[in-house]
Amino acid sequence: MNTILIVGAGLSSTSLIEYLLKHAEENQWQVRLADMSLELAESKIKGHTYGVAFSFDVSDKEERALEVSKANLVISMLPPTMHTMLARECVKQSKHFLSPSYVSSEMQILDKKAKSKGVLLMNELGVDPGIDHMSAMKIIDEIKAKGGELLSFKSYCGGLLSPSSSTNIWQYKFTWNPRNVVTAGQGVATYKDNGQYKYLPYQQLFAHPLETSMPEYGNFEVYPNRDSLSYRSLYDIENIPSILRGTMRRSGFCQAWNAFVLLGCTDESYLMRDSENLTYREYIESFLPYDERSVEERFADCIAVSIDDPIMEKFKWLDLFSDKKTGIKEGTPALILQKILEEKWTLKPDDKDLLVMQHQFVYKQDGQQKKIISSMSYEGIDQEHTAMAYTVGLPMAIVAKLILQSKIDLTGVQIPVAPQVYEPVLKELETLGVYFTEQEEDFE
């Protein structure tokens, strides 16, 4: 019997655990679920015959070594900064390792030793990164196989609300880590457009969003992610003239969010004095020049709209000009903004999330340019079975099965861009409701 060790029983682990337990008997797996909270781990195992829940401290070296020794495969659902200590132990004991997170420099260091020991450290196995890699590489490889030359690749993804839950004026709530949403895009976005390298600083990032549409879901805005250029080497498209990756939001979101960026509300580099006693109104006023006009008037002036502009309703709906107190001690502007947003952007029990992804390819074949648009959407079922958790957990579960069935022979630090990985994973995901629809047309 093979043993799978999963470390971390949080929300994103739900579908992963359920899949592995569902297939445990037929494959003769034991699923060992480790978490700091025994109660949480037990709630996910639910007394399953082939499951074991236990309390576990990954930072305990002896405990970590013991649990890895019992496993044939280790899956880390820990925060990204904690993956490497587990992966290092896996290499030491010649155990395969999976995670949904980006390959860190610390993880990459393990590549040579892992290869020498025949160990696979597969990362970026979630949805973004993960399903984005696999679905993009499938079409890129198909274009190359028929002799096409890829001219442009654009890839967008967004964690949003299903239409039935998009009832607030922002059409947005937190479906993932709120901190990451508040601080998204800081730095410089780099991409390539028609052979020209582009550098978009943070203060311009949300000012001029791109536009796209999705079947059944209508129009969306897209702002560029920080680093699109590194995907050229990952996807073996080094000489491509245009490449851009971006994050999708509902129409109108970027203009409103840009107001927070312009004011400095997303800054986390300093603490605001006496922050726990600031009212929301005083918080906003602290970023505005003083004159006799109201806070609302000066706020509108700073973001270059009239006080009667419809966009102002978004900020009023957040109670941004109210006398509520922040209650945040030693708060940065970003932390206080996060607290304000969480009051209105937290999912309700009956809310459902929506995951949307789209790839756009332009290629040339036999002197003619063509365009392929590949789109995927998936709506969550409830607060436990969210779209985000489903699309993060399933790719890892399927790859875990393939490894234990000896159907993947890769070693070292990898991401899922090889056909032996993406072909069976995408095929099974389709049977589980996660699939792409493709539209091809001549491109002028």
Position 15 pLDDT exceeds 90: yes
Q: CATH 1.10.1870.10 in the chain, residues?
A: 258-345
What is the residue-averaged pLDDT of the chain? 94
The domain 258-345 is placed in CATH, from the list 1.10.1870.10, 1.20.140.10, 2.160.10.10, 3.50.90.10, at: 1.10.1870.10
- Selection from 381, 268, 416, 402 nearest residue 331 by Cα: 268
Position 290 pLDDT exceeds 90: no
Pairing state between β 368-379 and 196-201: unpaired
Q: CATH 3.40.50.720 in the chain, residues?
A: 2-123
Q: CATH 3.30.360.10 in the chain, residues?
A: 131-252+350-385+437-442
Tokens (6 digits) for 123: 């990362």
The pTM is what? 0.93
Provide the CATH number for the domain formed by 131-252+350-385+437-442 in this structure.
3.30.360.10
| Sign, CA torsion 128/132/137/140 | negative
Q: Please state the CATH superfamily assignment of the domain spanning residues 2-123 in this structure.
A: NAD(P)-binding Rossmann-like Domain (3.40.50.720)
Position 385 pLDDT exceeds 90: no
Q: How many helices (H) and strands (E) does the chain have?
A: 18, 16
| Residue 292: band (very low, low, confident or very high) from pLDDT cuts 50, 70, 90 | confident
Torsions phi, psi for 417 (to 5 deg):
-115, 0
End-to-end CA distance of the chain: 57
Residue of 166 and 372 predicted with greater confidence: 372
